[in-house]
Structure 1
């Protein structure tokens, strides 16, 4: 009886027991925040940009004191002015603070402090909310408690929502809020065309690839996470859009047979793709050229073997097993998709190809580490007719391409494709090398916050790419001039010494392609010659 009484009392105050589930409480808080967002955004703009801030109207009965966290002043309380028509959080934003709850905040964090955390995270993505909360506690000389981290995390969510609201208003005012506006205008070098610009053999180059570092742990025993908010932005393709291409390709039976019960335990079976969805190499088995089909199948088999090794590690503990991303040749992010409880399925790159066919023009090339096989999947899908009509194609990345057989390289390696120039199409390897620092803090987040932090990271990535774009293009131009001026002279000298022409080089390349294409097959005259010699030996004729 004493324990029950003590739990219902705290410092002499009686509290009503909240019988709502955590999910209902989170949903109610989100709805309450949403109703305040427009007014809070207005107050934020006044606080941040108004040079002549007049004191807000107030009434003594509605003014209040609140505990505060401010890294710049280390103040512990603030006196907030408001009247009967102003919500507490709107008044807090006017004063430069943001509360920890929508209706009755008990703690306020200064907007300057939240902005500092936001800025630090732009340039150090692995900085966690907990680490920053402990930093604040250290400066305030107070013991760290988990409640401070929760308050900072909740307030930071709303601060980011306000920033997105401001960006949305600016985009709307500038007319930049149309469908796919960001993708159509993100990279000036890819998107803008000069007057009388000569027609290029390849109009646009872009790349796709999967990354499994940004996994997220699933709820314990399959329990649903209480925070069911869904974050969406112009970076993410919706799950509904992606699932339109879920049945375009069926998995081949041997793919599942290769992962037997000896490889995974009973509890791990749920983490394996057993839904009969195919991967990017499963489409288009029928080939006009059986020799080429056999060679491409060897590329697919190697990729599948590598994918299966990783799949065995995808225990049922993960909900999102990583991201599948696309970027232009200059590194600007195009689209992102979460790989939900699966490996690299065909529907992810197919969805991005569908968006590219919708947004981009004709004659683009897609770089993918298994691009040699993926083109068969595209042609065999519902996207095939439009893909061929637009004269698009795929290829392999330069670094990954060297692991493919020689025939594949001669057809699909960037060095063998006219118009590719100096591009290696390994853009996403550099992107993922940097974005992997997010893995340490997003692994245990809920789905909403994980997406928010990934979105913040890639927006900053694109800002830095835009800032350095002129230097990148200049360096590439200087490199191209050096190659033309230095290497061209060496090539011409060697051709002269060998008494060859540039046409001979093209002929040699074609001969090499034909040589490796026929390697391992016997010519008809050779078969007859061998049979003749064998017959002479059997008759004892010398």
Structure 2
């Protein structure tokens, strides 16, 4: 009796608990959940024929209840839930959204150990969950739920976060979620499946897909909590979420100071598109959520510019330059138009400042790199130039006009910022290709946010290294150029005149002279006429035709055979004569149209010169083909060492025994200058006699332009360093004022501790900026720490000297003593 009674009590207890979980599931599911659920009914296998997704295969909304329900499954008859996954997700998201303010406050209280009202004696509910942590896995932890308190708020009080908004059977520790958060930011290719398998291995648990989904849902809510906290902090600090990413993300660019030197151009930005961040159109269709990102421009704002290109007036750019660059770029085309139809997002198009901080991102949808993405990311006038990396793929005249080496005001900037960003973001491509739109944007947003944090941390180092690089170039190139100019009696104006002369020359020879083209065409027609005449003469030079068939007998049809062969000869004779007469008419018509009065004979000087020029034209065509192959190969080599890229069709190529030496990048890049290809193609115009074709002169001209750029870089860095020095003081002062304001208005606010934590982090980074910028330019700023102590950073003896040359010499002496 005792055993039977215990069994009945256990069954009654399990049934009661099961009904409670069913009630919670019905609250979470909303009105779409079947109200006809009855333990005594038979299982109904019906399906909703109008559902856009497959039905959920369990009696409850949340898949996380499956683990608990397995204990009673043999005893309970249940109906099949016919709601779609999209409906389940929508109801769950609505519940999470309603609980979010409470969860944010609970997370802040747990993180900063904020004391709360002691009402532990009032407990409205007790439930149990399994807790997953970094170093341990605990089963059936007892959770005490207070009145009117969500279950997840009760979990947050002890550092846990559930995987479901209402029905909780498993929870993840906050430390575990934060660990993966930081790992994912620093290594974008480390996915949720990887961290789930790691935890299963540590806790000796068999991995299955449901665990990955549970961790993913908890991580999504954790990121939303952090995003809500960041929004509150930004509001306190006065950072407008709509404009701050553009106007305040890079202090060295945007934090203008009074009476500073005017830079031209005032800002340097890089724009480019990347096709690695693709996403399949049908991936994650059951997830209707939209991720909130500070970087991405909405599709509606991008489409505002979709028709602007058609309304644009005729471009003033030389069409020959554009066409030449376009032809060279076809060798590097990254996306096949026939392959992008299966993707919803085909890539991203971003805008970044010269210091590497990302301003904004536009998603490229169902197409290539259209003009509307650039217009959307930069909704203002920009002077667009060519980055230095693509110098071997552009027409030489385009380089002389737009390459950073020949433009004033760019300093040592190579405008290769986007390539560095894409080389890093490509690591996230393995996770977002089949992700939902929500997770596609979430992963990229995390990566870009961490990228900006890293770039801001290295901002002082970036300015310092550029300063050192500019001084080293000035120190190295100045004596070499002075000696070269004295030896050859040259000036700086001569280097500029060589570039102008090269540009003018290439403009003149870009198109073939009309007289040369007419001469070559005339000689080609004459050669065809000579061939037709020789063929006709050879046919008519036969004096007698004798034909004796092999089967000739006295009784064979001799007359019929001879007649057939005679007709064939006459037909061939007529055909050759017709071709000769036709070509003769072509030559006469050509002479008439081009006013050629005398027939050119093979020994005439004009004829001989035209033949020689025609042969050179074939050589030029061969050089152009070689140029295209080299450009193609250079673009392949440029991607050879990027993470996550490769060529699947060429895995067996290295195993072959090559009949020729391997093409090495370091060897071929010396001959990849398009200017040298242009000189080679047009050498028949006596260009080799000009100074610009001498290799030593070209190298010295490049050094001279680099020297000018270094002086420009010093001027620009002096301005940007002052921007950064003023910003770090302004940021520290603003945060301290915000903390004092909160202490006065709401001393019990949990945001006070969060602001202090944020201040400590930024103050540490700003001290690093003070260290590097103080060595370039002196500063006399004093910073007050949160506890009232005074912290002197970056002070140097002596007044600040505004003269650029004296500052450069001071830093140069410092570097020489430190080496």
Tell me, yes or no, whether TM beats 0.5: yes
Whole-Å Cα distance in 1 between the matches of residues 408 and 464 of structure 2?
Answer: 22
Residue 507 of structure 1 and its aligned partner are, at CA, apart by 2.0
- 1:329 maps onto 2:392 in alignment: no
Q: Give the 3-state SS of the residue equivalent to 1:204 in structure 2.
A: coil
Could you tell me which residue of structure 2 aligns to residue 402 of structure 1? 392
Q: Give the 3-state SS of the residue equivalent to 1:399 in structure 2.
A: helix
Residue 73 of structure 1 and its aligned partner are, at CA, apart by 3.5
Whole-Å Cα distance in 1 between the matches of residues 110 and 81 of structure 2?
Answer: 35
Q: Return the structure number with greater relative CO, CA threshold 8 A, min gap 6.
A: 1
Could you tell me which residue of structure 1 aligns to residue 306 of structure 2? 246
Question: Are the equivalent residues in 1 in contact too, given 2:329–2:394 (CA < 8 A)?
Answer: no
Question: Are the equivalent residues in 1 in contact too, given 2:43–2:77 (CA < 8 A)?
Answer: no
- 1:226 maps onto 2:283 in alignment: no
Could you tell me which residue of structure 2 aligns to residue 377 of structure 1? none
Task: Specify whether residues 320 and 510 from structure 1 end up closer, same or farther in structure 2 by C-alpha distance, changes over 3 A only.
Answer: same
Whole-Å Cα distance in 1 between the matches of residues 288 and 519 of structure 2?
Answer: 74
Could you tell me which residue of structure 1 aligns to residue 219 of structure 2? 156
> For 1:319-378, what per-residue CA distance to the aligned partner results, in whole angstroms no more than 9, with x for missing partners?
211111111111101111111111111111111121xx2xxxxxxxxxxxxxxxxxxxxx
**Which of 342, 354, 366 lines up with 1:317 in the alignment?**
342
Residue 10 of structure 1 and its aligned partner are, at CA, apart by 0.8
Question: Are the equivalent residues in 2 in contact too, given 1:114–1:156 (CA < 8 A)?
Answer: yes
Residue 300 of structure 1 and its aligned partner are, at CA, apart by 2.6
Whole-Å Cα distance in 2 between the matches of residues 400 and 346 of structure 1?
Answer: 19
- 1:205 maps onto 2:231 in alignment: no
Question: Are the equivalent residues in 2 in contact too, given 1:59–1:81 (CA < 8 A)?
Answer: no
Question: Are the equivalent residues in 2 in contact too, given 1:58–1:82 (CA < 8 A)?
Answer: no
Task: Specify whether residues 12 and 485 from structure 1 end up closer, same or farther in structure 2 by C-alpha distance, changes over 3 A only.
Answer: same
Scaled by the length of structure 2, what TM-score is found?
0.54
- 1:348 maps onto 2:373 in alignment: yes
- 1:472 maps onto 2:462 in alignment: yes
**Which of 171, 178, 183 lines up with 1:108 in the alignment?**
171
Question: Are the equivalent residues in 1 in contact too, given 2:43–2:78 (CA < 8 A)?
Answer: no
Task: Specify whether residues 136 and 55 from structure 1 end up closer, same or farther in structure 2 by C-alpha distance, changes over 3 A only.
Answer: farther
Task: Specify whether residues 537 and 418 from structure 1 end up closer, same or farther in structure 2 by C-alpha distance, changes over 3 A only.
Answer: farther
Residue 106 of structure 1 and its aligned partner are, at CA, apart by 1.8
Whole-Å Cα distance in 2 between the matches of residues 309 and 120 of structure 1?
Answer: 31
Question: Are the equivalent residues in 2 in contact too, given 1:100–1:151 (CA < 8 A)?
Answer: yes
Could you tell me which residue of structure 2 aligns to residue 30 of structure 1? 93
Could you tell me which residue of structure 1 aligns to residue 549 of structure 2? none
Task: Specify whether residues 80 and 353 from structure 1 end up closer, same or farther in structure 2 by C-alpha distance, changes over 3 A only.
Answer: same
> Mean Cα displacement is larger for which, 468-477 or 76-85?
76-85
Could you tell me which residue of structure 2 aligns to residue 127 of structure 1? 190
> For 1:167-215, what per-residue CA distance to the aligned partner results, in whole angstroms no more than 9, with x for missing partners?
0010011111353112211112211223321111211111111111111
Whole-Å Cα distance in 2 between the matches of residues 537 and 203 of structure 1?
Answer: 65
Q: Give the 3-state SS of the residue equivalent to 2:171 in structure 1.
A: strand
- 1:419 maps onto 2:397 in alignment: no
Could you tell me which residue of structure 1 aligns to residue 486 of structure 2? 496
1:450-489 alignment runs, 5 A limit = 450-489=440-479
Q: Give the 3-state SS of the residue equivalent to 2:463 in structure 1.
A: helix
Whole-Å Cα distance in 1 between the matches of residues 329 and 488 of structure 2?
Answer: 41
Residue 409 of structure 1 and its aligned partner are, at CA, apart by 0.4
1:340-379 alignment runs, 5 A limit = 340-354=365-379, 357=380
Question: Are the equivalent residues in 2 in contact too, given 1:58–1:81 (CA < 8 A)?
Answer: no
Residue 528 of structure 1 and its aligned partner are, at CA, apart by 13
> For 1:99-134, what per-residue CA distance to the aligned partner results, in whole angstroms no more than 9, with x for missing partners?
111122221111111111111112211111111111
Residue 529 of structure 1 and its aligned partner are, at CA, apart by 13
Whole-Å Cα distance in 1 between the matches of residues 490 and 435 of structure 2?
Answer: 63
Aligned residue pairs, count: 469
> Mean Cα displacement is larger for which, 325-334 or 300-309?
300-309
Task: Specify whether residues 525 and 199 from structure 1 end up closer, same or farther in structure 2 by C-alpha distance, changes over 3 A only.
Answer: farther
Q: Give the 3-state SS of the residue equivalent to 1:76 in structure 2.
A: strand
**More helix, by proportion:** 2
1:8-23 alignment runs, 5 A limit = 10-23=73-86
Question: Greater Rg, structure 1 or structure 2?
Answer: 2
Question: Are the equivalent residues in 2 in contact too, given 1:214–1:322 (CA < 8 A)?
Answer: yes
Task: Specify whether residues 161 and 286 from structure 1 end up closer, same or farther in structure 2 by C-alpha distance, changes over 3 A only.
Answer: same
Q: Give the 3-state SS of the residue equivalent to 1:120 in structure 2.
A: helix
Q: Give the 3-state SS of the residue equivalent to 2:339 in structure 1.
A: coil
> Structure 1: which 5+ runs fail to align?
251-282, 358-386
- 1:42 maps onto 2:67 in alignment: no
Could you tell me which residue of structure 2 aligns to residue 118 of structure 1? 181
Could you tell me which residue of structure 1 aligns to residue 498 of structure 2? 508
Task: Specify whether residues 216 and 90 from structure 1 end up closer, same or farther in structure 2 by C-alpha distance, changes over 3 A only.
Answer: same
- 1:297 maps onto 2:297 in alignment: no
- 1:80 maps onto 2:143 in alignment: yes
Residue 19 of structure 1 and its aligned partner are, at CA, apart by 2.8
Residue 304 of structure 1 and its aligned partner are, at CA, apart by 5.3
Residue 164 of structure 1 and its aligned partner are, at CA, apart by 0.3
Residue 464 of structure 1 and its aligned partner are, at CA, apart by 0.5
Question: Are the equivalent residues in 2 in contact too, given 1:168–1:177 (CA < 8 A)?
Answer: no
Question: Are the equivalent residues in 2 in contact too, given 1:171–1:177 (CA < 8 A)?
Answer: yes
Question: Are the equivalent residues in 1 in contact too, given 2:131–2:172 (CA < 8 A)?
Answer: yes
Whole-Å Cα distance in 2 between the matches of residues 401 and 82 of structure 1?
Answer: 66
Residue 509 of structure 1 and its aligned partner are, at CA, apart by 2.0
> Mean Cα displacement is larger for which, 188-197 or 204-213?
188-197
Q: Give the 3-state SS of the residue equivalent to 2:348 in structure 1.
A: strand
Task: Specify whether residues 459 and 293 from structure 1 end up closer, same or farther in structure 2 by C-alpha distance, changes over 3 A only.
Answer: same
Q: Give the 3-state SS of the residue equivalent to 2:480 in structure 1.
A: helix
Task: Specify whether residues 112 and 513 from structure 1 end up closer, same or farther in structure 2 by C-alpha distance, changes over 3 A only.
Answer: same
Task: Specify whether residues 309 and 25 from structure 1 end up closer, same or farther in structure 2 by C-alpha distance, changes over 3 A only.
Answer: closer
> Mean Cα displacement is larger for which, 18-27 or 452-461?
18-27
- 1:444 maps onto 2:434 in alignment: yes
- 1:235 maps onto 2:295 in alignment: yes
Task: Specify whether residues 454 and 538 from structure 1 end up closer, same or farther in structure 2 by C-alpha distance, changes over 3 A only.
Answer: closer
Task: Specify whether residues 408 and 324 from structure 1 end up closer, same or farther in structure 2 by C-alpha distance, changes over 3 A only.
Answer: same
Q: Give the 3-state SS of the residue equivalent to 1:343 in structure 2.
A: coil
Question: Are the equivalent residues in 1 in contact too, given 2:281–2:344 (CA < 8 A)?
Answer: yes
Task: Specify whether residues 413 and 493 from structure 1 end up closer, same or farther in structure 2 by C-alpha distance, changes over 3 A only.
Answer: same
Could you tell me which residue of structure 1 aligns to residue 126 of structure 2? 63
- 1:175 maps onto 2:267 in alignment: no
Task: Specify whether residues 529 and 209 from structure 1 end up closer, same or farther in structure 2 by C-alpha distance, changes over 3 A only.
Answer: closer
- 1:186 maps onto 2:249 in alignment: yes
Question: Are the equivalent residues in 1 in contact too, given 2:337–2:368 (CA < 8 A)?
Answer: yes
Whole-Å Cα distance in 1 between the matches of residues 198 and 516 of structure 2?
Answer: 79
